[in-house]
Amino acid sequence: MDRIERDVVVIGAGACGLTAATQLRRSGASVIVLEARDRVGGRLRNDDSSGALLELGGQWVSPDQTALKGAIEELGLETFSRYRDGDSVYIGPDGVSHRFTGDIFPASPETQAEIERMIAVLDGLTAEIDPDRPWAHPRARELDGITWRAFLEQLSDDAEARSNVAMFTAEAMLTKPAHAFSALQSLLMAASAGSFSHLVDADFILDKRVVGGLQQVPLRLAAALGDDVLLSRPVRRITWSADGAVVEADGDLVVEARQVVLAVPPNLYDRIDYVPTLPLRRHVLHQHLSLGLVIKIHAVYEEPFWREDGLSGTAFSPYLSVHEAYDNSNHGDPRGILVGFASDARADRLLALEPDERREAILDDLARYYGERAKHPTIYVESDWGSEEWTRGAYAASFDMGGLERFGADVRTPVGPIHWASSDIAGAGYQHVDGAIRMGHWVADQVLAALAPTPA
């Protein structure tokens, strides 16, 4: 058995855990990071095994994500803009394809005006929500007790306007059906990105990418931590007391530490045994947080043929399985790459098909956006994070109905020496890499305060 002693053990080598470990070490604490997978980065993953560099997990950076932008700059990485010149495509409830520019989908003038009115109302409400404390809003209980779908039904009689507005936080963000989460959870999603309008504006929310892929952030952080990052070490048990913890991982590894950072998605908290067991409220809380489901699809072509047709590659439809798609061509690679997303119940239906049938159904949707040539990619890759043992969903966790108001205030409260941190429980940057990095810094501060000697 290997036995290691450190001031802090960080569990999980995603952007959050590695940010925390880096800051802790810079502040003089000794640290070890234990990672279950045989690679670092968690939900960030560059993959070139198909013949093109594909970012299978998180990839985009938006202007408000200052913590992530700071990390990118500090690590000496470069960014480039997503291709966006030309018309976007919208397919409405009648199945007809329309070209448009700007943010508002080209429905009838009445529906367009209704979408704009709804977004203005939602911007007003979002401005009242503190992303770090959404449960403190005076109407938190009411807003957490109504589903996003029912809330929009109260807001508008226009079904097409509702489907479009619902999509910005349902299919496109929480990746759960609009009847499965609350209006408060939806407003938190918007508040964490600065406003509801930001979620509507694809040019804002999907602004930049990192040359060589966003996984370079955790890869470079891990390289600097060197031998203090151990791979293929899933943590199975934490024995804890007020004085510290003993953490047991695969490979007969035991780490004794004064503080623990559990930087894993919340749906995985209960895969670890806690001795003694966690307090009752903590156990109950865990059962109210779950991840959504999305399939991310990459299709690579000899050239970005849609650009010749004056299309930007940006395409939306709440009525197709692939509800959104973009030009995802790489920096310095002449090939054209499209990326599409199929979420929630649409993903269920697609995943029930045989792989060939699923590919055909997905490429049919891409062809409806971009024409017949979309049916013939040279490379086709689906990334399904629901099947990944150490993630089990995407993009990140959200509370069930009523859970945010009931448990939110406790979600970051440590238990003895165990501190919780991930993008899934962030305020600003929630569900995004920016939130993971913010939480990494925040939890490092908490741990350093706990390590500091108590004044006599």
Q: Which residue positions form the known binding site for substrate?
A: 341
Rounded distance between C-alpha atoms, residue 210 and residue 217, angstroms: 9
**In sequence order, which residues have a C-beta less than 8 Å from that of residue 353 and are 6 or more positions away?**
361
Tokens at 364, concatenated: 């049919």
The residue (of 118 and 255) whose beta carbon lies closer to ligand FDA is 255
Among positions 22, 25, 29, 43, the unique one binding ligand FDA when judged by CB under 6 A: 43
The residue (of 3 and 141) whose beta carbon lies closer to ligand FDA is 3
From residue 273, how far is each of 246, 249, 283, 291, 318 by CA, in Å? 12, 11, 12, 21, 41
Which helix (DSSP H) or strand (DSSP E) does residue 408 occupy? none
Among positions 29, 268, 322, 397, the unique one binding ligand FDA when judged by CB under 6 A: 268
The residue (of 164 and 422) whose beta carbon lies closer to ligand FDA is 422
Rounded distance between C-alpha atoms, residue 429 and residue 438, angstroms: 8
Among positions 391, 408, 416, 417, the unique one binding ligand FDA when judged by CB under 6 A: 391
CA angle, residues 196, 157, 403, in degrees to nearest 5: 50
Q: How far is the CB of 111 from ligand FDA (least distance, A)?
A: 28
Q: How far is the CB of 237 from ligand FDA (least distance, A)?
A: 10
Binding residues are: 35-36, 235, 341
Q: Does 390 bind ligand FDA (CB under 6 A)?
A: yes
Rounded distance between C-alpha atoms, residue 101 and residue 341, angstroms: 21
Contact (CB, 8 A) for 53 and 260: no
The one-letter amino acid code at 104 reads I
Q: How far is the CB of 452 from ligand FDA (least distance, A)?
A: 25
Among positions 20, 29, 36, 401, the unique one binding ligand FDA when judged by CB under 6 A: 36
Q: How far is the CB of 332 from ligand FDA (least distance, A)?
A: 20
Q: How far is the CB of 2 from ligand FDA (least distance, A)?
A: 16
Which helix (DSSP H) or strand (DSSP E) does residue 455 occupy? none
Tokens at 223, concatenated: 């390289």
Contact (CB, 8 A) for 184 and 147: no
Which range of residues in 106-114, 160-168, 368-376, 427-435 is near ligand FDA by CB under 6 A? 427-435
- How many whole angstroms from its chain centre is CA 137? 24
Q: Does 269 bind ligand FDA (CB under 6 A)?
A: no
Q: Does 15 bind ligand FDA (CB under 6 A)?
A: yes
Q: Does 423 bind ligand FDA (CB under 6 A)?
A: yes
The residue (of 288 and 438) whose beta carbon lies closer to ligand FDA is 438
Binding residues for FAD are: 35-36, 235
From residue 376, how far is each of 90, 362, 373, 420 by CA, in Å? 22, 12, 6, 45
The residue (of 42 and 336) whose beta carbon lies closer to ligand FDA is 42
Q: Does 292 bind ligand FDA (CB under 6 A)?
A: no
Rounded distance between C-alpha atoms, residue 262 and residue 36, angstroms: 12
Q: Does 44 bind ligand FDA (CB under 6 A)?
A: yes
Contacts by 136-143, CB closer than 8 A, 24 or more apart? 137/184, 140/184, 140/404, 140/405, 141/405, 143/182, 143/183, 143/184, 143/187, 143/405
Rounded distance between C-alpha atoms, residue 311 and residue 304, angstroms: 10
Strands 79-81 and 253-262: unpaired
Q: How far is the CB of 423 from ligand FDA (least distance, A)?
A: 3
Of 248-267, binders to ligand FDA (CB under 6 A) are 263-265
The residue (of 115 and 167) whose beta carbon lies closer to ligand FDA is 167
Q: How far is the CB of 260 from ligand FDA (least distance, A)?
A: 11
CB count in 10 Å sphere of residue 373: 17
Build a one-symbol-per-residue string for 214-243: x at contacts with ligand FDA by CB under 6 A, - elsewhere.
--------------------xx--------
CA proximity to 129, closest of 444, 445, 430 = 430
The residue (of 11 and 29) whose beta carbon lies closer to ligand FDA is 11
Which one-letter DSSP state was computed for residue 82? P
Among positions 272, 300, 366, 428, the unique one binding ligand FDA when judged by CB under 6 A: 272
Q: Does 422 bind ligand FDA (CB under 6 A)?
A: yes
Of 55-74, binders to ligand FDA (CB under 6 A) are 57-60
Q: Does 35 bind ligand FDA (CB under 6 A)?
A: yes
Tokens at 109, concatenated: 């003038």
Determine the size of the site formed for ligand FDA (CB under 6 A). 42
Residues at the contact surface with ligand FDA, assessed by CB under 6 A: 11-17, 34-37, 42-44, 57-60, 234-235, 263-265, 268, 271-272, 294, 296, 383, 385, 390-391, 394-396, 422-423, 431-434, 436
